[in-house]
Amino acid sequence: MAKDANPATKESSRPSKLQETPTTSKSELGGINISVKEQRQKDWKIIKNLLVNIWPANDWGVKGRVVLGLGLLIGAKASEVPPPCQS
């Protein structure tokens, strides 16, 4: 009647991530196996739908703010100065 004190030594009925095939992934919502290619297509479709909000047609105010924000971000990264070397 001795029980194993370490649960890590017991084998799990769930396969580990290393044992899963790289061509399938499990969807979080439905638990349906879909291929990686199908998942990438769905992901790109979502990104394309969201880009409408970032770069709307005929709305130059939003487009200007996006360009200004990206310009400021690039400028901030370019202006970073490394600390002086200590020798």
Q: What is the pLDDT of residues 27-75, one digit of tens each?
A: 555 667 889 999 999 999 999 999 988 889 899 999 999 999 999 999 9
Instruction: Assess contact for 59 and 48: CB atoms under 8 A.
Output: no
Tokens describing residue 9: 């030594």
User: pTM of the entire structure?
Assistant: 0.47
